[in-house]
Structure formats: structure tokens, C-alpha cells
Amino acid sequence: MTALTLSTAAAPGLRADAIVIGVAKGAKGPVVAPGAEALDKAYDGRLAGVLETLGASGGEGEVTKLPAPAGFKAPLVVAVGLGAEPEKDAEFSAEALRKAAGAAARALAGSKKAAFALPLADAADAGAVAEGALLGAYSFDAYKDNGKNAKGNGKAPLGEIALLGGKPRDKAYKAAIERATAVTEELNRARDLINTPPNDLNPEAFAAVAQAAAKEHGIKVQVLDEKALAKGGYGGILGVGAGSAAGPRLVKLSYTHSRAKKHLAFVGKGITYDSGGISLKPAGHNETMKCDMSGAAAVFAAVVAAARLGLEVNVTGWLALAENMPSGSATRPGDVLRMYSGKTVEVLNTDAEGRLVLADALWAASEEKPDAIVDVATLTGAMVLALGNRTFGVMANDDAFRSAVVEAAEEVGEPSWPMPLPEHLRKGMDSPTADIANMGERMGGGLVAGIFLREFVGEGITWAHIDIAGPAFNEQGPFGYTPKGGTGSAVRTLVRVAELTAAGELG
């Protein structure tokens, strides 16, 4: 795990493997960003010209390495692009700082220590740089030879980060670093879960991880196994898990604060492997389906982060865990399931299973009458077609709450887009046999799924649905602070929603 500290040391005298500086894209070429004054002076004020000669433009995520000048104990300078130079009297955005810090941390894999001298206008900037650097330094090597240090399989993550320009004794700076550390550690734990092969992370194993974390951080935990689910009438979760030798679980994580005035419920889809069931996925569509529990991982991480941060809001996390497999005992297309709410659902497609486990968990969450519910799921390929691989869709039964969730996502740097719930799409789920079918019109499939979920939210409860099918698992190359593989999408949005609720700014 990468360590991070605030440092008051001067850049020239700091012992490190590298010094990271920022460079922006100016109108006439690269511009050295604040924080690199000592380096620029050592280059006689010509650092921008040297970088331009080396091909640097200051573009977002661009990394340029050059030898450090005489007088510096660090042998290497890493100049990372911040994107366009801000307008006069403006500062770099938090997201620009996060992305630059992440790109630099990735570029320094294999190094023991680096000093980050990126522009810090205030404590919030320090938090953004810390967050980006710690997320960028992530690596999942548990299944590689000698994976603890990644030898022989690539380079180990950057070992230590010294953040220059901060104020170690300032309460705001200390709080920003503590927040960044807690959130990124839990987000990276979510990434680990998403990346873990499904033969090692079935519902029971996931529940065990949640139980251990709950014990460590003072969170109350309840796990319903197959017998308890059957006794309780959780037909959706049981129906999805019926085909697997690994039984389903419903995990409830309860974080409470003595001064809390609001109660949030987060609900996560946790399909630890999705074969599609009897409606089997074709080859080419099932190789990454270990990531179908990303919603549950996000909810788990957010609840633990809320506890670590001591937020003055009660947060309950519901992890609906099952493995969707074909077998003689699996749910068939045409079967009817009686859900926890009492409603019946005709299963027309067993690969539309996420909404079934979420429906039971949503109704269970609704019984506690929280002030708001937010569910997170890798729910539909239709949302990927609509918004691409980096943006999640947000639907809600309240337009103001939907806007608040989208704004929270934007604030923390998670691309999102508000999506509607058109009433005319509900008719497509009418069933001659049951109260509702789990499939409707093909066009607008992501919206159809949201309308289905709305049926299982208690009356009068504010609810939002986040479909992270696109950004949950990055199959392409890493960028900014986002690695290849599990990303931890929606963790930071959920944490921010909890923070705003605790502050009385939401709900």
C-alpha cells in the first residue's frame, strides 16, 4: 500500500527517486505550473522550453521525464500534463489535479519514493492530488508470482509519496489528506474485489470480507444465507442463485452515528459471476463477468468509508449477492418468482438477473423507511450503448434528487448523465401470468430496467438508480488515475452523497 505524507521540505534537498511537477497547455506552448519554481530556477527559467524541446505540450495526462538539474538530490523530474492553462486568477480544477497525479503515480511504478510538487491553492487541492496519486498507484498482483512485490511480473506500485507545498499542521490540510486516504483505500479494496477471480469470490466469500471489515470499523453486520432467505421469502435473490452450487447471500451493513439526523440506504448488485443462466451469454460476453458485483463492491466501500470518516449520517448498505449459473436447478425462462415484496415476476430472460436481486434488497431497504435510497449496479448493456464506457446513468423518482446525485458525481470527478423514466415503457413489462415481467421493450433497455426497480421502492421514499455498466470495468488501457480492470466506479459519488446529507445540504 502506497504511503502518503505532507512535507514542508524544499524540493532540492528532498531525497526521492523523482520530483513530479505540473505543466499546462498554454496558448504559445507548455507552461510550467505553480509548485515547480525551484526547478524552473535551476534551469535558469528555461524549463518550459526544455520540456517543449522534449515534445511536451502540457496536454492532459502527458508524461515527460528528464534528468534533474544539479543541486537536486532526486535524480529525475517527471513533468505531467494538466491540460489547458486556467484563465487569469483561476486555478486548476480538482479533477485536473487528480488525473495528473494519477498519471504520474502510474508512470513511477517501481520507484520507492516520489515528491509531488503540483499546484496547491488550498487544502482541497491537496486532497485532490493525494486522491489521484493514491488511486493511480493501485496495482492488483495477488495472482502473479511473488505478487506481494510484483517482481518478475512488472513493477511494484510507487512506494511512498511526499506531497510538497502543503501544511502538515493545518487542520484543513490534515483533514483533506485523511479523507483522501480513507476513501482511496476503500475504493482500492473495491477494485480488489472486482478483480478477484469468481472461483475465489463467491457470495459466501464476499460476505466474509464484509463481515471482517465491519468488525474492524465498528459496523453492525447481518448476513442472510439460503435458509434465512427462504424463510424470509426473498424469491428474487434465491431465484437468481438457484443454479449455482455457491448459495446466495444478502448482507446488511449498518453504520450509525449518535448525532445523525438522516438515514441513507445504499443497495448494490452483487452477481459474483454472471453466465446469463439458462439464457446463456455468448462467447465474447462472459469473460469479464466477474465484475458484475461492482455495485455491491461500491456500496460496501462507501459504507466503510463513511464509518472511517465518522460522517454524521446513518448509512445502511445492502449487498445482494448471488452467482448466476445454468444447471438443472436454475431458474428457467417462463418461471414466476414471488419476490420479497410479495409481487410476482415472470422471468423472460435469466440474463436480466440483476434487477431481480436488487428488487428484493430495495424492498428490504424500504422497510426501514430511510430518507433516501441509492442503488448501484452494472445493470444493462443498453446504458453502455447510450453513454459509452466512462459515464454512468442516473435515474430517480425525484428530479431534484437525481440532479443532486449527478452534481455529487461531477464534484468528485465521476462522469454521469441524468436519464429519464418514461411512463410509456412500463406497459412493455405487463405479464399475462404475473404482476410484472423482468423484460420489456428492447429499445431504451436501461430505462426499462430502472422502471422495473422503481416498482420495488417503498411508497414515499426518495430513490435513485445508478447504472455503472460502462465505467465499472476498464477493458482498455489505464488513463489518469483509472487502472485497467475494476475501477471502483460510484464509490466516491456515494461517499459524497453521504457527506452532503450529513452536512444538511441534501435531503
Phi, psi of 229 (to 5 degrees): -65, -40
Q: Name the helix (H) or strand (E) containing 365.
A: helix 354-366
| CA separation for the pair 15, 34 (Å, rounded) | 21
Cβ atoms of residues 111 and 19 within 8 Å: no
Angle at 200 between CA 237 and CA 159, to 5 degrees: 120
Catalytic residues: 281, 355
Q: Which three cell numbers stand for residue 195?
A: 478483480
**Which residues, including other chains, have CB under 8 Å from residue 332's CB and lie 6 or more apart?**
278, 347, 350
| CA separation for the pair 467, 484 (Å, rounded) | 20
| CA separation for the pair 153, 90 (Å, rounded) | 43
Cβ atoms of residues 168 and 462 within 8 Å: no
336 burial type by CB count under 10 A (0-12 exposed, 13-18 middle, 19+ buried): middle
Cβ atoms of residues 356 and 338 within 8 Å: no
Side chain identity at 502, as an amino acid letter? A
Please state the separation of Cα 168 from the chain's center in Å. Answer: 28
Torsion angle, CA of 499/183/92/106, rounded to 10 degrees?
-170
| CA separation for the pair 125, 117 (Å, rounded) | 12
For β-strands 113-117 and 160-164, DSSP reports them as parallel
Q: Which three cell numbers stand for residue 404?
A: 443532486
